[in-house]
Amino acid sequence: MRITPAVKVILIINIVFYVLSYWVTPLFPLGGHGDWFVQFNALHPIGYSGFAVYQYLTYMFMHGGWWHLFFNMWSLMIFGNAVEQQVGTKRFVYYYLLCGVGSALINQLCTALGIIAPAQLVGASGAIYGVMAAAAFFFPNARLFIIPIPFPIKLKYLVGFYTVVEMYMGIVSVDGVAHFAHLGGILVGIAILFCWRMQDKKQQKRGRENYWTTSTSNQSHYEKEEGLWEKLKQFFVGKRQPKMRVTNVREANYADHMYNERKRQESDEIDRILDKIRRNGYQNLSESEKATLFNASKRKQEEQGR
């Protein structure tokens, strides 16, 4: 499994925080408290001692134990890689952090309303549930095997099932799990996705890219797989030919020159479209770009079939 850039960084930060929380800081207690790192970064209820605004970010990198960390990071790798490849690295980071912060706010709102008891909040679960919602949004019919279900289940049904379960457990359960934070991650994620979709459609009607598309335009986070992209380019446009320079038209076949020039322009256009997919995801292509890619693929298949 290839880990995408943002997912890799999030994994590293979570592991570092876990090591500092349970292996390092207990050996160096401050003020007699061996859990000072946890107390410093966990999200405390509003109005209680120890609460700080920065904890809305730091809490999602803290975990209550090894298994808590393992299942969250495993889920991040399963769903996060696909989502990041779909939307691009920068957009994925915004989405992940917004889901984490939003899930914490919803959990604290439920605390303020008396639905749940005040408690410290730790863990990336809210952000992970948001990533799951994004995976179901982009790949609704992808099938997964989930233990103990003996048959594959579509991702859209799985996320819907989790949404109902978290709502029910949040109301009736007293197991100490932040079910409303999980539910909040799903709801915030869905809201963000629909806002992005509406914004994208409006900008496409105006004939220009929007902020979320251009925000990743300067990134190139798949450089390590240049070989794969070169193969894709060769599939669509064939082996790249060097640019021709006709210094004397009388000594060159003008028809051949025009044909090669047209092929070169088509090759450059396919390169640009593939680079855009690499940076921003397929869904950010315009209709004309999708048509160009489709026609190039069709011509390539026809040539191979001759």
158-203: pLDDT as tens digits? 899 889 988 888 888 777 788 999 999 999 999 999 998 888 888 7
What is the structure's pLDDT at 221?
A: 37
State the Cα–Cα distance between residues 161 and 163, nearest whole angstrom: 5
pLDDT of residue 234: 55
- Give the model's confidence band at 12: pLDDT under 50 very low, under 70 low, under 90 confident, else very high: very high
Q: Above pLDDT 90, what percent of the chain?
A: 41
Identify which has the larger pLDDT, 237 or 78.
78
Instruction: Name the CATH superfamily, with its identifier, for domain 5-212.
Output: Rhomboid-like (1.20.1540.10)
Asked if the model's pLDDT at residue 205 lies above 60, the reply is yes
Q: Among 68, 72, 65, 60, which residue's Cα sits nearest to residue 98?
A: 60
pLDDT on residue 290: 78
C-alpha span between 135 and 202 (Å, rounded): 23
pLDDT band for position 253 (cuts 50, 70, 90) = low
> Domain limits of the chain?
5-212, 224-305
Identify the pLDDT of residue 256: 63
98: confidence class by pLDDT, cuts 50, 70, 90:
very high
Question: Across residues 16-26, what is the average pLDDT?
Answer: 88
Rounded average pLDDT over 48-69: 93
pLDDT of residue 216: 40
SS3 for 228-246, per residue?
A: HHHHHHHHHHCCCCCCCCC
More confident residue, 82 or 243: 82
Buried-exposed string 200-226: b where 16+ CB fall within 10 A, e elsewhere: beebbeeeebbebbebbeeeebbeeee
